[in-house]
């Protein structure tokens, strides 16, 4: 087992300077949208991971595919690293400029290029966030379901193959990206996919770029599937004496083919934190937070079935969130669990895991991880997209306390080992970034990682696209 | 627009001989499972396309991943082409040994390696066919939905990114392959994906190999999603005065988010052919053949909704196929439409298209294609997975009649042009093979095809994996 990269220690890389002639070319073209100000650079040299800030040499705020192509062409000509930047919400060190170079900020590319309501598709620029997209298509009776905790950009979500609470029903970015506009490492613009729902035409470049974390090109436009807003939505919470009970109810629900839209676990600690932050007054014991989408009758039927399953498996106090306001309050609290955990533990940093296992192994891995976490004495909580077998165990460690951090990292590593042994993955939705490069080799094997590396070398021979991420070259 | 390859004319390739030392090594290892008999070679030098038989030099019947790795290692050492062969049902010339070499027959790799009913996953060897798989998991209350017309092997289905009548609800091979065992071009064995439902761990090699038509490696095992057999299944047929009416009813159904499981169009000609073959007694006018999966109440609700939609849009004579026998009869007839067309037109070959467009453009492309087909005077029929925007217009041309074939090819080409102009694809489910290499460039653009080519060169530097397919190197 490869250890994860300790998260105060960046791997050593030579920084590759931006030559004066290139800097001048960027300044000439972008004026004030090309910045070398320390504050701007530092803001672009970090993400939500605990790695130390590692700024790029220059930040360019692009507003079009053509502008991105110009920057990448310059970078290619001078063999300078390029790091695409959305809203900075990634969690594994994806955005750190370990070799220096140019951060391409895409956050001003916020045009919804085209909505095709009749085809349930939309094309957006990469800087559009998931919340903006949903605001813009709501009046058409449509929505986009993928919802990582942060209000991430759709380019960033595609780059990390993100998912969230709705994935159990609607899939992840893997299933929901139809096509891309990509600036390749040579600065050329290509289009992948079409608006057709399926295709057997050649290699699936769309899904190669989705999840490639900026290492193969810069995605500037994303074509996505949309869904009709369900006729009826209903949410419920159900408490359990143990995490085990909640997981067993989930497994039964999935195995019976109930098309549940969301099925989230919060352990007692997570409930306590979100209660404190959002004043929810939930019973502080493990709970499932569920949502059902469909017709009026369909939602009722699903919910009754799940209510019967939970009752049989020790669920207590099954309660409906009957109004949209109540639902929104619950889901907002769930999305803020990460911040609630930090708020409840002032001066702490979060060390979080992101494993995903076949659902039959979920109870087992959760129980052993809970036993270890309880024994170590650090504050922790668990939230999980348990319908998919994906969960996050988050330790809260005192900022600067090396011993606590070492304990948390060690336990996290053991959990990943366990997940991989159980035919699972080291990351369900956050990506590899810097932190999990060792785990990727454990999971995929040296042979598969060698194939990834060959693809990278072929498509980015100068290693300028977000170098040093996913695997060492 | 690039013309398709006329299907009696193979592109010129130098054949690459199998050296005596390699042939001996194969004979030593495989004994009678290594054949150079003309009949065996000819059987492996063709598929369901009209291209002339182009046999490999030798056929090896492999029974394990290790055996495949041995053959590929030999081929790599001697720079000899390798063509994976399942049941031979592909349609675009995928299996023709245009540069000679070794056909690796996987049809004896028929082990269902592992069923994990509780996780709804199964791992099969590549030679397992879809019908075998469904027989083996039926008693567990499970099924695998992807159903191309032929009883194809799951390796072949993965290689062509196949789909079929259930894709509108369950997706294609793209969505349903979780992981693969692949023998790479160097003869190394790698594993892609895990049994976890989702992952953000590195490049999506699974989906790169799915649809790569044997040009990047040989898939020897496939891990697939399974689904619980629905509690209730109900099928219906509904006739329409025009294809347009049937398509509009389909569009409305999809846009309303009805989770219809199958939604197939047959034009009047197709109905006539399947009537003749299967004695169905259907009214010989355009019809939709639909199926609904769910709970008893859910199926009833879906069906009533669709019945109301069809009634509003000119549907006539909505009829239930209430018994399982009746359903099976209808769907079997649908699956045999290809053969019914040939049976009704003795001495004819089928020239079929496989375009897929955004559903809003479906009525438009179908109508103009029908107008052209009617005007040309050749027998033709249309069957379509219209819920996905995918359809096949098949011309029946007299064997050896160059003029008829030229007409059919010209009209097919015009239809593909139209599909691409309407943001669709030249192939929804059959693949590129030899026939559609020109169309791929039209659809994806030279830049995207260049990226595919770079991947191919990186992963198969000696160009031994099914060379000459998808794109010219």
Q: What is the ipTM of this complex?
A: 0.96
Chain B residues close to A443, C-beta within 8 Å: 194, 201
Cβ–Cβ below 8 Å for A356 and B458: no
Cβ–Cβ below 8 Å for A444 and B201: yes
| Closest by CA position to A251, among listed A357, A341, A355 | A357
Query: What gap in Å lies between CA A334 and CA A326, rounded to an integer?
Result: 12
Q: What is the pLDDT of residues B275-299, one digit of tens each?
A: 999 888 999 999 999 999 999 999 9
Stated pTM of the model: 0.97
Q: What is the pLDDT of residues B62-74, one digit of tens each?
A: 999 999 999 999 9
The burial class, CB within 10 Å (0-12 / 13-18 / 19+), for B379 is middle
| Closest by CA position to A469, among listed A428, A440, A444, A447 | A440
Residue B121 touches chain A, beta carbons under 8 Å:
yes
Which of B358, B448, B458 lies nearest to residue A458, judging by beta carbons? Answer: B458
Cβ–Cβ below 8 Å for B356 and A197: yes
Cβ–Cβ below 8 Å for A199 and B428: yes
Residue A70 Cα distances to A73, B166, B280, angstroms:
5, 44, 62
Cβ–Cβ below 8 Å for B119 and A358: yes
For chain B, what is the HEC assignment?
CCCCCCCCCCCCCCCCCCCHHHHHHHHHHHHHHEECCHHHHHHCCCCCCCCCCCCCCEEEECCCHHHHHHHHHHHHHHCCCEEEECCCCCCCCCCCCCCCCEEEECCCCCCEEEEEHHHCEEEEECCCEHHHHHHHHHCCCEECCCCCCCCCEHHHHHHHCCCCCCHHHHCCHHHHEEEEEEEECCCCEEEECCCCCCCCCCCCHHHHHCCCCCCCEEEEEEEEECEECCCEEEEEEEECCCHHHHHHHHHHHHHCCCCCCEEEEECHHHHHHHHHHHCCCCCCCCEEEEEEEECHHHHHHHHHHHHHHHHHCCCEEEEEECCHHHHHHHHHHHHCHHHHHHHHCCCEEEEECCCECCHHHHHHHHHHHHHHHHHHCCCEEEEEEHHHCEEEEEEEEECCCHHHHHHHHHHHHHHHHHHHHCCCECCCCCCCCCCCHHHHHHHHCHHHHHHHHHHHHHHCCCCCECCCCCCCC
Tell how far CA A33 is from the center of its chain: 28
Residue A309 touches chain B, beta carbons under 8 Å:
no
Residue B263 touches chain A, beta carbons under 8 Å:
no
| Closest by CA position to A143, among listed B257, B301, B362, B170 | B257
Q: Which chain A residue's Cα is nearest to B359?
A: A119
Query: What gap in Å lies between CA B211 and CA B206, rounded to an integer?
Result: 10
Task: Provide the 10 A C-beta neighbour count for residue A20.
Answer: 8
Interior angle at CA A292, CA A291 and CA A296, nearest 5: 140
Where do the DSSP E strands lie in A256-321? 262-266, 287-294, 316-321
| Closest by CA position to A268, among listed A245, A284, A292 | A284
Mutate to test the interface with B, among A72, A191, A203, A447 (most CBs of B within 10 A): A203
Which of B191, B447, B458 lies nearest to residue A190, judging by beta carbons? Answer: B447
Chain B residues close to A356, C-beta within 8 Å: 196-199
Task: Provide the 10 A C-beta neighbour count for residue B304.
Answer: 11
Question: Tens digit of pLDDT per residue, chain B (473 long)?
Answer: 666 655 556 778 999 999 999 999 999 999 999 999 999 999 999 998 888 999 999 999 999 999 999 999 999 999 999 999 999 999 999 999 999 999 999 999 999 999 999 999 999 999 999 999 999 999 999 999 999 989 999 999 999 999 999 999 999 999 999 999 999 999 999 999 999 999 999 999 999 999 999 999 999 999 999 999 999 999 999 999 999 999 999 999 999 989 999 999 999 999 999 999 988 899 999 999 999 999 999 999 999 999 999 999 999 989 988 788 999 989 988 888 999 999 999 999 899 999 999 999 999 999 999 999 999 999 999 999 999 999 999 999 998 899 999 999 999 999 999 999 999 999 999 999 999 999 999 999 999 999 999 999 999 999 999 999 999 98
CA distance B345 to chain A (A): 29
Cβ–Cβ below 8 Å for A202 and B470: yes
Q: Which chain A residue's Cα is nearest to B168?
A: A197
Tokens of A351: 């060390």
Residue A88 touches chain B, beta carbons under 8 Å:
no
Mutate to test the interface with B, among A173, A201, A432 (most CBs of B within 10 A): A201
Cβ–Cβ below 8 Å for A228 and B255: yes
Mutate to test the interface with A, among B2, B167, B203, B252 (most CBs of A within 10 A): B203
Chain B residues close to A120, C-beta within 8 Å: 254-255
Residue A114 touches chain B, beta carbons under 8 Å:
no
| Closest by CA position to A146, among listed B20, B198, B26, B103 | B198
Query: What gap in Å lies between CA A92 and CA A433, rounded to an integer?
Result: 5
As assigned by CATH, the class of the A112-228 domain is alpha beta
Chain B residues close to A162, C-beta within 8 Å: 200
Cβ–Cβ below 8 Å for A356 and B196: yes
- Domain boundaries along the sequence of chain B: 232-421
Query: What gap in Å lies between CA A207 and CA B209, rounded to an integer?
Result: 11
CA distance A208 to chain B (A): 6
Chain A residues close to B228, C-beta within 8 Å: 255-257
Cβ–Cβ below 8 Å for A192 and B448: yes
| Residues in A 226-255 with any Cβ partner in B closer than 8 A | 227-228, 230, 251, 254-255
Contacts of B264 (CB under 8 A, 6+ apart): B165, B288, B289, B290, B334, B383, B384, B385, B386
Residue A306 touches chain B, beta carbons under 8 Å:
no
Of 3.40.50.720, 3.40.462.40, 3.10.20.30, 1.10.10.10, the CATH number of B232-421 is 3.40.462.40
> Which DSSP category does A261 fall into?
S
Q: Which chain B residue's Cα is nearest to A143?
A: B257
Can you say whether residue A120 is alpha, beta or left, with left for phi > 0 and alpha for psi between -120 and 50 degrees? left
Cβ–Cβ below 8 Å for B257 and A230: yes
Chain A residues close to B189, C-beta within 8 Å: 447
| Closest by CA position to B94, among listed A419, A21, A163, A200 | A200
Question: Tens digit of pLDDT per residue, chain A (473 long)?
Answer: 666 655 556 778 999 999 999 999 999 999 999 999 999 999 999 998 888 999 999 999 999 999 999 999 999 999 999 999 999 999 999 999 999 999 999 999 999 999 999 999 999 999 999 999 999 999 999 999 999 989 999 999 999 999 999 999 999 999 999 999 999 999 999 999 999 999 999 999 999 999 999 999 999 999 999 999 999 999 999 999 999 999 999 999 999 989 999 999 999 999 999 999 988 899 999 999 999 999 999 999 999 999 999 999 999 989 988 788 999 989 988 888 999 999 999 999 899 999 999 999 999 999 999 999 999 999 999 999 999 999 999 999 998 899 999 999 999 999 999 999 999 999 999 999 999 999 999 999 999 999 999 999 999 999 999 999 999 98
Number of A/B CB contacts below 8 angstroms equals: 270
Cβ–Cβ below 8 Å for A200 and B429: yes
The answer to whether the CB of A100 falls within 8 A of the CB of A468 is: no
């Amino acid at each position: 087992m490869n250890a994860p990269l300790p998260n105060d220690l960046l791997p050593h890389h030579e920084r590759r300077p931006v030559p004066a002639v290139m800097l001048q070319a960027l300044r000439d073209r972008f004026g004030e949208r090309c910045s070398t100000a320390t504050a701007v650079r530092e803001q672009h040299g970090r993400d939500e991971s605990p790695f130390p800030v590692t700024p790029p040499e220059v930040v360019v705020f692009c507003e079009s595919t053509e502008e991105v192509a110009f920057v990448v062409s310059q970078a290619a000509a001078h063999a300078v690293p390029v790091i695409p930047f959305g809203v900075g919400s990634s969690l594994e060190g994806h955005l750190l400029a370990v070799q220096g170079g140019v951060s391409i900020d895409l956050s001003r590319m916020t045009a919804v290029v085209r909505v095709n309501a009749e085809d349930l598709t939309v094309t957006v620029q990469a800087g559009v966030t998931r919340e903006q997209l949903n605001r813009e298509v709501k009046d058409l009776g449509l929505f986009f379901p993928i919802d990582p905790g942060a209000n991430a950009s759709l380019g960033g979500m595609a780059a990390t193959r993100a998912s969230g609470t709705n994935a159990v029903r609607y899939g992840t970015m893997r299933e929901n990206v139809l096509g891309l506009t990509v600036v390749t490492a040579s600065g050329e613009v290509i289009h992948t996919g079409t608006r057709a729902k399926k295709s057997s035409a050649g290699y699936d470049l769309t899904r190669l770029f989705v999840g490639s974390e900026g290492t193969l090109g810069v995605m500037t436009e994303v074509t996505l599937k949309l869904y009709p807003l369900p006729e009826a939505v209903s949410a419920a919470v159900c408490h359990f004496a143990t995490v085990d009970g909640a997981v067993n109810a989930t497994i039964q629900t999935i195995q019976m083919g109930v098309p549940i839209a969301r099925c989230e676990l919060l352990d007692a600690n997570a409930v306590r934190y979100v209660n404190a932050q959002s004043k929810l007054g939930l019973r502080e014991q493990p709970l499932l937070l569920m949502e059902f989408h469909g017709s009026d009758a369909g939602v009722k039927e699903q919910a009754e079935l799940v209510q019967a399953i939970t009752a049989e498996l020790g669920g207590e106090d099954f309660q409906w969130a009957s109004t949209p306001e109540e639902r929104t309050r619950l889901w907002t609290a769930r999305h803020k669990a990460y911040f609630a955990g930090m708020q409840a533990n002032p001066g702490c940093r979060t060390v979080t895991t992101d494993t995903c296992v076949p659902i039959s192994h979920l109870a087992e891995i959760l129980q052993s991880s809970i036993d270890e976490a309880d024994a170590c004495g650090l504050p922790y909580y668990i939230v999980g997209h348990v319908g998919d077998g994906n969960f996050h165990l988050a330790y809260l460690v005192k900022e600067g306390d090396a011993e606590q951090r070492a304990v948390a990292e060690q336990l996290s590593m053991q959990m990943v080992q366990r997940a991989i042994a159980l035919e699972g993955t080291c990351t369900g939705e956050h990506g590899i970034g810097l932190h999990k490069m060792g785990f990727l080799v454990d999971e995929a094997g040296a042979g598969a990682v060698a194939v990834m590396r060959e693809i990278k070398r072929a498509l980015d021979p100068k290693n300028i696209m977000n170098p040093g991420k996913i695997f060492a070259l």
